[in-house]
Amino acid sequence: MDQEGKTVPRKKFAAVFMAAGICFAVFGAILGLLFHIKKIYDLPGFLVIIGACLLGYGALQTISTGRKGEEVLFSRKNAKSFFLNYALIFALLVLIIVIIFIEPRFMKFDVLFDILAQSSIRLIIALGIIITLLIAGTDLSAGRMVGLAAVISTSMLQNPDYAHRFFPNLPQVPIILPILLAIFACGIFGAINGFLVAKYNMHPFIATLASSVSIYGICSLYFDMPPNNSQPIGGVRDDFTRLAQTKLFDKVSILVPIAIAVTILMWIILNKTVFGKNIYAIGGNMEAARVSGVNVFKTLMGIFILAGVLYGFGGVLEAARTAGASNQYGYGYELDAIAACCVGGVSLAGGIGKISGIVTGVLIFTVIQYGLQFINVSPMWQQVIKGIIIVVAVAIDLSKYHKVLWH
């Protein structure tokens, strides 16, 4: 480690953040309580939240003094690493400030809740993608599995009095059965992906590309069955749509706590289980992992089965959110998820990536898309901007992990 630079006592470093947090929180409280300015909307509340976050970070630094050391090193190397790690977040903050200047209504809590709701299903899908990227692979079948799960679940969960039922003579079934069937179907296709990769050493790109095409064909054949004949599925039961359309406290979509729960579960799997450690080991060096006793075949099978289950769950929630489905559901979702993973710091070389990075990547993409729509930027320009962000993210990834990729 480069020791050149200036050291600061960690407690003093923490005190700076805690003082800044208190200032933000107090200023936000004063702004909200004493001044009733309509044009700033919920800015006081956001300032209080920012203050609480800074205060919390400072408290964590104080607590971690024994583990991380008594001093914090400031050096050119550390500064470069910091800006590389958080460059996209800084860019996002600049974009948010620009959007707020153009359209102050962006400072409303309702906007934040909408962004979190839109991020939730994307996050669940990205959590499936990350475990395939961690082994230096990918999964191009994710989007089509989302569509398959959406079609299967909604086809069996229509109202009895709906005029164009997919199965006219199907009695009303417990809601859990079609959901489990949809997720199970995606798990089966995930197992096929895993078998092709593990048994025949087929590159995940080719294996999942073939699966993607096949899944779309199978879904379309199912969707085209009479009497449906490729008509969008509607008339979905209320007990199904409530799974994704319920609002907690009339504000927060129920999708948000669901996504948080899935994120925590995946964090535990990747960080606290043998299976998770084996994923990182295979991504770092498959042959070395095999020699050290890792069952590569079972691990690869488990990776793609788990990914398929997550795609299926995401597809069910997407169908419940929109109260319908068609065979076109999920198209391109895998590309957005892969891009979010890249933005979130998952190395394309495998073996490097964190759940926290995925959350950040998904939020960055959702904020950008939502924000640009909010200020009426052309969808074509939105695609251009997203493309630039992906290129910049991968370039940063290459600069951080150059030795891992090329030596």
What's the pLDDT tens digit per position in 257-291?
A: 999 999 999 999 999 999 999 999 999 899 999 99
> Do 293 and 361 fall within a single domain?
yes
Same domain, 255 and 332: yes
Q: Which has more pLDDT, 61 or 395?
A: 61
Which pLDDT band, with edges at 50, 70 and 90, does 198 fall under?
very high
Residues 295 and 350 placed together within one structural domain of the fold: yes
Domain count, the chain: 2
Give the pLDDT band (50/70/90) at residue 359: very high
**100 and 6 within one domain:** no
**Distance between CA 161 and CA 171 in Å, rounded?**
11
Say yes or no: 8 and 134 in one domain. Answer: no
Task: Note down the domain range covering 63.
Answer: 1-74
Kindly report the pTM of this predicted structure: 0.91
Q: pLDDT band at residue 84, thresholds of 50, 70 and 90? A: confident
pLDDT at site 342: 85
Domain boundary among 22, 48, 74: 74
Please say whether the beta carbons of 29 and 13 come within 8 A. Answer: no
Q: What average pLDDT does the segment 216-236 reach?
A: 95
Q: Are residues 46 and 175 in the same domain?
A: no
Q: Which of 47, 74, 101 is the last residue of a domain?
A: 74
Q: Concatenated DSSP letters for 227-295?
A: TTTTPPB--B-HHHHHHHH-EETTTEETHHHHHHHHHHHHHHHHHHSHHHHHHHHHHH-HHHHHHTT--
Q: How far apart are CA 329 and CA 249, in angstroms?
A: 30
Cα 164 to Cα 173: distance, rounded to the nearest angstrom: 17
Q: What is the pLDDT of residue 406?
A: 41
Q: What percent of the chain has pLDDT over 90?
A: 63
Q: Alpha carbon of 118 to those of 20, 27, 64: distances in Å?
A: 31, 30, 35
> What pLDDT is stored for residue 402 in this prediction?
54
Residues 41 and 140 grouped into a single domain: no
The answer on 353 and 218 residing in a single domain is: yes
Beta bridge partners of 354: none
Nearest to 17 by CA among 59, 46, 47, 48: 59
Query: CATH no. for residue 103?
Result: 1.10.3470
Structure tokens at 201: 């050493």
Q: Say whether both 68 and 146 belong to one domain.
A: no
With cut-offs at 50, 70 and 90, classify the pLDDT of residue 11: confident
Q: Would the pLDDT of 403 be above 80?
A: no
| Percent share of the chain, pLDDT over 70 | 96
Lowest mean pLDDT among 80-89, 183-192, 342-351: 80-89
The answer on 121 and 18 residing in a single domain is no
- Domain boundary among the residues 11, 42, 74 is at 74
- Highest mean pLDDT among 71-80, 111-120, 342-351 belongs to 111-120
Q: What is the three-class DSSP state of 158? A: strand
pLDDT of 43 over the 90 cut: no
How many other β-carbons are positioned within 10 Å of the β-carbon of residue 73? 15
186 neighbors 319 (Cβ within 8 angstroms): no
Q: First vs last Cα of the chain: how many Å apart? A: 20
Same-domain pairing of 193 and 261: yes
Q: How far apart are CA 208 and CA 140, in angstroms?
A: 5
Examine the domain organization and report whether 57 and 193 are in the same domain. Answer: no
